[in-house]
Amino acid sequence: MLTTRRILTAALLGLLAQTGLAQSWPSRPIKLVVPFPPGGLIDNMARLVAPRLSQELGQPIVIDNKPGAGGNLGAAEAARAAPDGYTLLMASPPLTINPALYAKLPYKPEQISPIGLLGRVPNVLMVAPGAGINSVTDLTAQAKAKPGQLNYASNGQGTSLHLSAELYKSQADVSVAHIPYKGAAAGLSALMAGEVQMMFDNLPSALGLIQGGKLKALAVTTPQRSSALPNVPTMEEAGMKGYQVFAWFGMAAPSGLPAAVQQRLEQALERVAAQPEVKAAMLKAGAEPTWGNAQALASFMQADTAQWKKVAAYAKIALE
């Protein structure tokens, strides 16, 4: 009986401590690490969410851009921070791509703990309008007829755009050469100029060129069609069974957060994600509002990394 009372007393004290922690946190500003330079999609989404999350938590949220090494520098800074809720990370594809590509990361993936998924962004497969290619089937047929003679552009080795193309190549069983450019804009210019024959890009940055008739969209990479391009099929509808790629964004933190802080963060972020003005801003930017709690984001990240490991092995991609 005495032992039972002690266990119950200890549990009650632990619960009270957690409750007190949740009520007292945060008591000072919070840093949100963004592993990209200002101005891109992930940075823009961070600046959309941060002031609203600040209102929910009652403390300023200061954005700290830490670009470099394909997102590894920012992730490493967050991973090394104290797990006290005062350092957060804007989570994005490098967290699932880089563990599949780099032989050695400056942090361990298990040092990053998901908080919530906020949105997804389709990639889109494009060709030049005058190329005589009107579908993914046409592209595959041309690639098979001219093995090794077609080229595709990307914004660099190991990026979502690069791996999207390699996933297509592995499923279609075609040989298309990779031409990496310094940024997606340079790759799009090369596609319009006919220097390359195909390219995947994040839909937001390519949408204006597609709508203006300068590029032709063959398919989007998400399971459902994009509301921005309702007449463009998905890769699966175009014959690529099981093909799914998301450029995604959410929030994470150093692993080991106190349970009460983790719960409060997740609940506050969910309320922000549900705000109509946040959803509207995401849609305007070409993103799909997609809330997922910490468990859902963790499961997605695990599956995404597994997919990219297969693609990296197929394409023999290994980065230092």
Tokens for 8? Answer: 């119950």
Name the least confident of 97-101, 155-159, 247-251.
Answer: 155-159
Confidence of residue 85 (pLDDT cuts 50, 70, 90): very high
| 233, pLDDT greater than 50 | yes
Report how far apart, in Å, the C-alpha atoms of 310 and of each of 142, 143, 152, 160, 253 are. Answer: 25, 22, 20, 14, 27
Confidence of residue 40 (pLDDT cuts 50, 70, 90): confident
Mean pLDDT of 216-231: 94
Query: What percent of the chain clears pLDDT 90, i.e. is strictly above it?
Result: 82
Q: 35 near 94, Cβ under 8 Å?
A: yes
- Interatomic CA distance for residues 228 and 222, integer angstroms: 13
pLDDT score for 15: 43
Mean pLDDT of 134-154: 96
In CATH terms, are 30-120+247-309 and 122-220 the same topology?
Answer: yes
Mean pLDDT of 288-308: 95
| 10, pLDDT greater than 90 | no
pLDDT score for 215: 97
Mean pLDDT of 135-162: 94
State the pTM of this model.
Answer: 0.85
| 16, pLDDT greater than 90 | no
- CATH code matching the domain that covers 30-120+247-309, chosen among 3.40.50.720, 3.30.565.10, 3.40.190.150, 3.30.930.10: 3.40.190.150
Identify the CATH class of 122-220. Answer: alpha beta
pLDDT score for 285: 86
- Interatomic CA distance for residues 24 and 33, integer angstroms: 23
| 286, pLDDT greater than 90 | no
Nearest to 29 by CA among 117, 88, 78: 88
- Interatomic CA distance for residues 268 and 271, integer angstroms: 5
Spell out the domain ranges in the chain. 30-120+247-309, 122-220
Averaged confidence pLDDT in the chain? 92
Name the least confident of 141-145, 154-158, 254-258, 268-272.
Answer: 154-158
Q: 48 near 282, Cβ under 8 Å?
A: yes
